């Protein structure tokens, strides 16, 4: 275990821990060196959002789950100050969720990722799976599992996120309609609770903890290891884009695609606020193609919509992906001659945002503020929500993609901690389709949007409030709320369960202070 110390506030605690721990333990500021120290301190107070910068008092780089358990056991057994602890995965939060003001940040990447792949034999029942450290990145798991021709079933668009970080939220991408979010594809977890207990949990053992932690915003425990379901990986993927100039036709085709999971493997989509935005939006397809569809447009202010879908290509087994795409596209209603397709390796398909990252980095546009807003919106409110969105953005200075695609409610386990919008009752029963909408905006300091980060944040709040109101009934994903009252509202009828789980697993409110839900109990 290594500690970097920044002020004396938690030094006493760390010295006590040093005496208790059998392992290599402390690096004092002198051992660490001033430049290293500053670097560690600033990285722990920085995230992808670049909006909130809360400095911790100390950074822990544990070598094993036991190091984490020791720290949390000590904090929960003593009335030591008001020290809080945040696990930090890849630090890709937007609003400081992995930060701990004057507390301790645990850098999860210091625990060895130790990826073990179990490939199911033909004569064996059960599943192929991977056991992987909570601080490992999804891209590491992909690389390792592909060596055996396997891969996880459910993804995020970007792979340089940690296993523990996405499982604490949900983990959504174009495969979610088919397999559910990443949290629906976990068999078992090793967790250190806020009280310091090291527990292996699953749907059949310590299930309350298992379901609490999945989508639990880091509130109940720290995931140190996860068992993730795997499936056969296709060698190649057929990747298709189709364009629309009518919103109802666009969503109609998206809903058609998600009703065909036996043919389709991935469905997403995005809004093209005007033709120019295709140049500034993240639309890598793949990046080196310089993809630029011809709209033959009538008006430069026109809004377009794009569906992106993919079919796994297992050739020469069974029907070719080409034939499957042909069969599907006959049923679609996109603008004539506005469908494009490419074939890429499975790895390149899943890693597509990395290429966009490299492109943005080279132009100095990656390390800028990202005032993102993600919302779950029930199907019944999606058109109204789209109108609110478009009223609140100026297409000429909006930088970044606006993703919009359908998910299916029954692929989410209601026992997990994620708050989905309530299903409307009456009519013909539960409305299955819920849209995820991501306004993934960059506030480029060099552009006109830069001067108004506060203004963008204020507009985001207005959009989120309008969308959460009665008629639309949306809920934030990767939520950021200003008060306990807002959080109660966010969890709605599940608030009592969420609060009871907190009381059970982290009663002193030590964990994940950056989410701003529960105060630390002295
Ligand atoms: P961090 O920012 O490090 O932590 C997030 C929260 O989880 C914090 O509260 C932290 O304390 C807690 N935490 C971290 N590790 C653990 C652990 N081991 N145990 C318990 N709690 C922990 N999300 C999607 O669903 N789909 C996407 O397609 C998608 N694409 C993205 C693309 C980019 C470029 C970025 C920046 C984000 C994207 N996200 C996406 C959001 C992403 O899933 C979340 O921000 C996620 O939390 C990031 O993981 P992380 O490892 O960076 O987490």
**Dist. CA 515 → ligand 1 center (Å):** 12
Residue 176 in contact with ligand 1 by CB distance below 6 A: no
Hunting for tokens 């059960």 — which residue is that?
126
| Whether residue 391 is found in the same domain as residue 426 | yes
Residue 128 in contact with ligand 1 by CB distance below 6 A: no
Q: How many structural domains is the chain composed of?
A: 4
**Does residue 126 lie within any of the structural domains?**
yes
**Dist. CA 27 → ligand 1 center (Å):** 28
Give the model's pLDDT for residue 27: 39
What CATH number corresponds to the domain at position 207? 3.30.465.10
What CATH number corresponds to the domain at position 382? 3.40.462.10
Count of C-beta atoms within a 10 Å radius of residue 86: 26
Residue 71 in contact with ligand 1 by CB distance below 6 A: no
pLDDT tens per residue, range 203-234:
999 999 999 999 999 999 999 999 999 999 99
| Whether residue 220 is found in the same domain as residue 269 | no
What residues have CB less than 8 Å from 262, skipping those under 6 apart? none
Q: Can you tell me whether residue 213 is helix, strand or coil?
A: helix
| Whether residue 239 is found in the same domain as residue 344 | yes
Instruction: Find the distance separating the first CA and the last CA of the chain, reported in whole Å.
Output: 26
- Among 327, 347, 363, identify where a domain stops: 363
**Does residue 153 lie within any of the structural domains?**
yes
Q: What is the ipTM for the molecules in this complex?
A: 0.99
Residue 158 in contact with ligand 1 by CB distance below 6 A: yes
Q: Which of 104-108, 343-347, 470-474 has the lowest mean pLDDT?
A: 470-474
| Whether residue 143 is found in the same domain as residue 217 | yes
Q: Residue 423: pLDDT above 90?
A: no
Bridge partners for 477 per DSSP: 374
Give the model's pLDDT for residue 377: 97
For residue 28, the enclosing domain spans 2-110+505-515
Please provide residue 73's backbone torsions phi and psi, each rounded to the nearest 5 degrees.
-60, -45
Using CA positions, which residue lies closest to atom 20 of ligand 1?
Answer: 222
| Whether residue 76 is found in the same domain as residue 121 | no
Q: How far apart are CA 144 and CA 147, in angstroms?
A: 6
| Whether residue 510 is found in the same domain as residue 449 | no
What CATH number corresponds to the domain at position 21? 3.30.43.10
**Does residue 486 lie within any of the structural domains?**
no
**Does residue 129 lie within any of the structural domains?**
yes
| Whether residue 357 is found in the same domain as residue 384 | no
What pairing do the DSSP bridges indicate for beta strands 58-61 and 104-107?
Answer: parallel
Tokens read off for 339 = 């469908």
Q: Residue 38: pLDDT above 80?
A: no
**Does residue 403 lie within any of the structural domains?**
yes
**Does residue 40 lie within any of the structural domains?**
yes
| Whether residue 296 is found in the same domain as residue 385 | no
Q: Which of 105-114, 299-308, 491-500 has the lowest mean pLDDT?
A: 299-308
DSSP codes of every residue in 396-426: TT--S-EEEEEEEGGGS-TTSS--PPPPPPS
pTM of the prediction? 0.93
Q: Residue 17: pLDDT above 80?
A: no
**Does residue 283 lie within any of the structural domains?**
yes
| Whether residue 239 is found in the same domain as residue 227 | no
Q: How far apart are CA 354 and CA 362, in angstroms?
A: 12
Active site positions, annotated: 92, 157, 268
Q: How far apart are CA 169 and CA 185, in angstroms?
A: 13
Q: Residue 420: pLDDT above 70?
A: yes
Please provide residue 396's backbone torsions phi and psi, each rounded to the nearest 5 degrees.
-75, -25
| Whether residue 270 is found in the same domain as residue 208 | no
Per this entry, what is the length of the chain? 522
Taking residues 144-153, report their average pLDDT. 98
Distances (CA, A) of 12 to 5, 32, 55, 73: 11, 18, 19, 16
pLDDT tens per residue, range 62-108:
999 999 999 999 998 876 678 999 999 999 999 999 999 999 999 99
Strand order through the sheet with 339-345: 339-345, 236-244, 304-313, 266-272, 402-408, 433-439, 373-378, 475-477
Taking residues 137-150, report their average pLDDT. 98
**Does residue 493 lie within any of the structural domains?**
no
- Among 311, 346, 363, identify where a domain stops: 363
Using CA positions, which residue lies closest to atom 10 of ligand 1?
Answer: 98
- Among 232, 265, 300, identify where a domain stops: 232
| Whether residue 320 is found in the same domain as residue 354 | yes
| Whether residue 471 is found in the same domain as residue 396 | yes
* Ligand 1 atom at minimal distance to the Cα of residue 191: 19
């Amino acid at each position: 275990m290594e500690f970097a110390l920044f002020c004396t506030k938690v030094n006493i605690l760390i010295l006590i821990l040093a005496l208790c721990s059998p392992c290599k333990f402390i690096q004092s500021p002198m051992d660490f060196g001033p430049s290293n120290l500053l670097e560690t301190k600033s990285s722990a107070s920085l995230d992808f959002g670049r909006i909130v910068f809360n400095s911790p008092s100390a950074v822990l780089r544990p070598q094993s789950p036991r190091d984490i358990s020791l720290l949390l056991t000590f904090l929960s057994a003593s009335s030591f100050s008001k020290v809080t602890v945040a696990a930090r995965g890849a630090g890709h939060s937007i609003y400081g969720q992995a930060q701990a003001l004057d507390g301790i940040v645990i850098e999860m990447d210091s625990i060895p990722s130790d990826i073990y792949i179990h490939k199911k034999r033909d004569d064996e029942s059960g599943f192929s799976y991977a056991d992987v450290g909570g601080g490992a990145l999804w891209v590491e798991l992909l690389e390792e599992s592909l060596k055996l021709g396997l891969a996880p079933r459910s993804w995020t668009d970007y792979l340089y996120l940690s296993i523990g970080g996405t499982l604490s939220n949900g983990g959504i991408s174009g495969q979610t309609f088919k397999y559910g979010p990443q949290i629906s594809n976990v068999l078992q977890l090793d967790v250190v609770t806020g009280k310091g207990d090291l527990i292996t949990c699953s749907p059949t053992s310590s299930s309350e903890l298992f379901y609490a932690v999945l989508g639990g915003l880091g509130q109940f425990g720290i995931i140190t290891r996860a068992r993730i379901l795997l499936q056969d990986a296709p060698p190649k993927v057929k990747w298709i884009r189709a364009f629309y100039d009518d919103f109802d036709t666009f969503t109609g085709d998206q809903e058609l695609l998600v009703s065909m999971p036996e043919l389709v493997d991935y469905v997403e989509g995005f809004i093209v606020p005007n033709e120019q935005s295709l140049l500034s939006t993240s639309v890598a397809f793949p990046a080196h193609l310089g993809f630029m569809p011809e709209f033959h447009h009538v008006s430069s202010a026109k809004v377009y919509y794009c569906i992106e879908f993919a079919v796994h290509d297992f050739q020469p087994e069974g029907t070719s992906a080409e034939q499957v795409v042909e069969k599907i596209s006959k049923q679609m209603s996109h603008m004539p001659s506005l469908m494009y397709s490419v074939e890429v390796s499975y790895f390149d398909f899943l890693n597509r945002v990395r290429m966009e990252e490299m492109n943005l980095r080279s132009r100095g546009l990656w390390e800028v503020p990202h005032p993102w807003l993600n919302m779950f919106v029930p199907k019944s409110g999606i058109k109204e929500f789209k109108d609110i969105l478009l009223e609140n953005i100026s297409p000429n200075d909006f930088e970044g993609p606006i993703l919009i695609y359908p998910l299916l409610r029954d692929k989410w386990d209601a026992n997990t901690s994620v708050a989905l919008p309530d299903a409307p009752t009456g009519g013909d029963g539960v409305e299955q389709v819920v849209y995820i909408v991501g306004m993934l905006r960059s506030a480029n300091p060099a552009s006109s949007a830069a001067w108004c980060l506060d203004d963008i944040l204020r507009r985001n709040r207005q959009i989120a409030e309008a969308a959460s109101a009665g008629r639309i009934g949306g809920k934030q994903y990767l939520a950021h709320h200003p008060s306990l009252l807002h959080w109660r509202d966010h969890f709605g009828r599940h608030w009592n369960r969420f609060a009871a789980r907190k009381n059970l697993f982290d009663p002193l409110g030590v964990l994940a202070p950056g989410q701003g839900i529960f105060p630390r109990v002295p």
